[in-house]
């Protein structure tokens, strides 16, 4: 810890000192997003052997979501902290007119929602709108549905759905679709984006929030977060996608590829925006003509 410059060491006094600004980074409840990452890396460290086995010629293609015990609990804490103040107050206003439409009443799909934290916050703040949270993980959907009921939210529902195979009768049915940090994990990201496009109403909008990065490795060399992001990608994002025979894009798939795939899905007016107070993310805001 001293040689890594995490802990300060005094040669004269032979003492160790952890500066206050570094304590916050290491404490799980210090109120900063970065504090969640040491806990995530601890969780991923338990899967190193599973991932290493995938490199063997006779090994598995990937690692299933079920192997990541504790992942949904960790993500719940992260998303709750992220969205507690920023989602309604800071993120929603970045989409021109969205707040007013939510107040009047529109239909929203929070796709690949995990435990549905965005849906829960939005449904509570905008009672005139109707929200559908969808995810492939049954346990997460059940948790979200129970939480919604306990909060008395009559305008939010949750159901298990593969984002690449949405119901046929959902065509042109949502005014707004949100996907937060999930497309890069999917087995069939292109298929998922085509399905999202199909389900958005003409004139509707799609927000894809994903990790800030570039498709070309050389363009990420000076990104201070890239080392950690490539590590996360190796130990989680890539193997869970490959487990389903997927693309294995990884978290550092890059904004250039993201824009290209959105264009191929036929979205228009694609804007690459910053996410307020979350510098590690980008917001790809798109229209359906």
pLDDT band at 29 (very low <50, low <70, confident <90, very high): low
pLDDT of residue 133: 97
Task: Tell me which residue has tokens 């003409």.
Answer: 202
- What's the chain's average pLDDT? 93
pLDDT reading at 30 higher than 70: no
CB-based contact 72:137 (threshold 8 Å)? yes
pLDDT band at 40 (very low <50, low <70, confident <90, very high): confident
**Rounded average pLDDT over 72-92:** 86
pLDDT band at 32 (very low <50, low <70, confident <90, very high): low
Output 80-86 pairs: Cβ under 8 A, ≥24 positions apart.
Answer: 80/117, 81/31, 81/33, 81/36, 82/33, 82/278, 83/117, 83/118, 83/121, 84/121, 86/276, 86/277, 86/278
Model confidence pLDDT, tens digit, residues 159-211: 999 999 999 999 999 999 999 999 999 999 999 999 999 999 999 999 999 99
Structure-token pair, residue 159? 């159901």
pLDDT reading at 284 higher than 70: yes
pLDDT of residue 77: 84
pLDDT of residue 41: 85
pLDDT band at 266 (very low <50, low <70, confident <90, very high): very high
In the chain the domains, ranked by start, together with CATH numbers, are 33-287 (3.40.50.150)
pLDDT band at 27 (very low <50, low <70, confident <90, very high): low
Which of 72, 70, 47 lies closest to 60, judged by CA? 47
User: 207 forms bridges with which residues in the sheet?
Assistant: 178, 285
């Amino acid at each position: 810890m001293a040689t890594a410059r995490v802990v300060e060491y005094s040669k004269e006094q032979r003492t160790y000192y952890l500066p206050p600004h570094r304590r916050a980074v290491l404490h799980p409840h210090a109120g900063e997003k970065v504090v969640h990452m040491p806990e995530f890396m601890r969780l991923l460290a338990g899967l190193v052997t599973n991932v290493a086995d995938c490199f063997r010629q006779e090994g598995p293609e990937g690692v299933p979501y079920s192997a990541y015990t504790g992942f949904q609990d960790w993500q719940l804490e992260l998303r709750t902290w992220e969205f507690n103040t920023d989602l309604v107050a800071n993120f929603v206003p970045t989409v021109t007119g969205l707040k007013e439409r939510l107040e009047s009443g529109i239909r929203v799909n929070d796709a690949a929602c995990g435990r549905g934290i965005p849906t829960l916050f939005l449904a509570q703040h905008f009672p005139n709108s109707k929200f559908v949270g969808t995810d492939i993980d049954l346990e997460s959907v059940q948790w979200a549905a129970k939480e919604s009921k306990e909060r008395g939210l009559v305008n939010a529902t949750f159901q298990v759905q593969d984002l690449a195979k949405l119901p046929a009768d959902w065509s042109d049915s949502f005014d707004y679709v949100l996907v937060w940090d999930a497309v890069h994990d999917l087995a069939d990201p292109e298929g998922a984006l085509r399905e999202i496009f199909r389900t958005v109403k003409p004139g509707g909008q799609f927000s894809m929030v994903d990790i800030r990065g570039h498709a070309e490795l050389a363009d990420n060399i000076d990104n201070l977060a890239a080392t950690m992001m490539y590590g996360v990608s190796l130990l989680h994002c890539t193997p869970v996608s490959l487990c389903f025979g997927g693309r294995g894009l990884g978290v550092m798939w890059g904004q250039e590829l993201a824009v290209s795939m959105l264009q191929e899905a036929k979205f228009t007016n694609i804007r690459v925006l910053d996410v307020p107070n979350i510098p590690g993310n980008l917001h790809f805001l798109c229209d359906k003509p």
